[in-house]
Amino acid sequence: MLSMSIDLDAEADGRSSWTPKKIRILATKVEIDDNLQKAIMKLGPRFTKKPEECTHLVANTLARTEKFLCALPQVPQIITSKWLQACASAKKIVAEREYYLNDPTAEKKHGFKLSEALARAKVLKQKKKRLLENHFFYFTPKVPTDHELLQNVIDALGAKCKMTSTPTARNLSATRHLISCPEDAAVWRPLASDFPIYTSELLLSAGFRQYIQWEDDEMRVPGSY
């Protein structure tokens, strides 16, 4: 069944296939001035600060921001700010295709293609699943990545998490994992012979790529394997 927010005939005349009033725009690392924002809102869309509501993510670069990571599972249209300007100039919500984010330099740097990440996210969304559904992550106190960022990325990927300074073998399993760092070696060392000890990169990379690299040593804490 097709979503009621999609108009299949729209792109024939240069309009977006999205019903304007259904569009929710989230911007990351992009400044949108008040006049442009008001012009867009007059056309029907609304701006949001919540990644889970996002249908259109405005980004001029492929950057690993919290908003980008948390919005990707929603399979948004990812367009540059030129799309907003084009909409305002045309006084209609124009088709997104010409304004899709294309940042091959950043893709090479991060080792993945955005189009492929979105395709993986789309498959999961169609199945009403999320990448890390039914997984649980413990993270130790000295993990350098901002804990609120980790929490939000984990939530967006469908998992749950908890901080602990005393993880035990009983806590860990095939779906229950430990995120740590070299500075917390005293915490994870007794567990390292039986369980992988991951860095926060495992989760940040998963959010960006929309797949999880369980077997990649680069995702493990140095000295733990």
Write out the chain's pLDDT in tens, 225 residues: 334 455 555 555 688 999 999 999 999 999 999 999 999 999 999 999 999 999 999 999 999 999 999 999 999 999 999 999 999 999 999 999 999 999 999 999 999 999 999 999 999 999 999 999 999 999 999 999 999 999 999 999 999 999 999 999 999 999 999 999 999 999 999 999 999 999 999 999 999 999 999 999 999 999 999
DSSP state string for 95-148: -SGGGB---HHHHHHHTS-HHHHHHHHHHHHHTT--TTTT-EEEE-TT--S-HH
Q: Where are the domains of the chain?
A: 10-125, 130-219
10-125 belongs to which CATH class?
alpha beta
Q: Do domains 10-125 and 130-219 have the same CATH topology?
A: yes
Give the CA diameter of the chain. 64
Residue 203 dihedral angles phi and psi, to the nearest 5°: -80, -40
CA distance 118 to 107: 13
CA distance 68 to 65: 5
Residue type at 73 in one-letter notation: P
Residue 115 dihedral angles phi and psi, to the nearest 5°: -60, -35
Match domain 130-219 to its CATH number in 3.40.50.1380, 3.40.190.10, 3.40.50.10190, 3.30.450.20.
Answer: 3.40.50.10190
CA distance 6 to 17: 5
Cβ contacts of residue 112 below 8 Å, gap of 6+?
A: 208, 209
